[in-house]
């Protein structure tokens, strides 16, 4: 089997496992039956289609990022041919994942005002403050990882 397809399957499997744990714990804590998760209008057809669609989306994401990783790794190695290949591989991993961390940092930072707009009604509750704080801490931590492991930092050391 192609490695990119295998990585897509792993990505899809992690997504499905996440959903099983999330909804399983929700049903356990609230003592809700499984039928509460299914739409009543179509007998679960829309819920099943939604589940399948997101599973396929995560398969495509995993497959795409696997190909993207390989292509960028080859370009990075070609760009820095003078370095040892093991060192270049380590530098590439740091640079690649720092770019992803930068993107995720922006996503979590932008999520804060959207969370406030959607969920904070009249007064700010402790729960709202906790959620906003978690989003901000994750954003700051990811940005710190990006600054520490970015390509410019790697070659300046």
Q: Which of the pair, 11 or 151, is modelled with greater confidence? A: 11
Average pLDDT over the chain, rounded to an integer: 89
Tell me the pLDDT tens digit for each residue of 85-119.
888 888 889 889 999 999 999 999 999 999 999 98
> Do residues 137 and 144 make contact, with C-beta atoms less than 8 angstroms apart?
no
Question: Residue 32 and residue 121: Cα distance in Å, rounded?
Answer: 27
Tell me the pLDDT tens digit for each residue of 111-142.
999 999 998 888 889 999 999 999 999 999 99
pLDDT > 60? residue 157: no
* Annotated domain spans of the chain: 1-79, 81-157
Question: Residue 77 and residue 157: Cα distance in Å, rounded?
Answer: 18
Using alpha carbons only, how large is the chain's radius of gyration in Å?
Answer: 21
pLDDT > 70? residue 39: yes
As given in the structure block, the two tokens for residue 141 are: 């931590």
Question: Residue 2 and residue 93: Cα distance in Å, rounded?
Answer: 22
Q: pTM here?
A: 0.72
> Do residues 105 and 147 make contact, with C-beta atoms less than 8 angstroms apart?
no
Question: Residue 100 and residue 12: Cα distance in Å, rounded?
Answer: 19
């Amino acid at each position: 089997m192609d490695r990119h397809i295998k990585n897509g399957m792993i990505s899809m499997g992690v997504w499905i496992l996440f959903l099983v744990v999330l909804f399983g714990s929700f049903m356990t804590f609230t003592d809700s039956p499984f039928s509460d998760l299914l739409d009543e209008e179509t007998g679960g057809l829309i819920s099943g289609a939604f589940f399948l669609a997101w599973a396929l989306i995560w398969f495509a994401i995993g497959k795409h990022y696997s190909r993207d990783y390989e292509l960028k790794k080859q370009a990075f190695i070609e760009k820095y041919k003078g370095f040892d290949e093991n060192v270049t591989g380590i530098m590439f991993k740091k640079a690649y994942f720092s770019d992803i961390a930068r993107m995720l940092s922006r996503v979590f930072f932008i999520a804060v005002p959207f969370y406030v707009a959607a969920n904070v009604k009249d007064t700010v509750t402790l729960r709202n403050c906790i959620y906003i704080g978690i989003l901000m801490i994750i954003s700051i931590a990811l940005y710190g990882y990006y600054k520490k492991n970015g390509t410019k930092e790697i070659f300046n050391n």
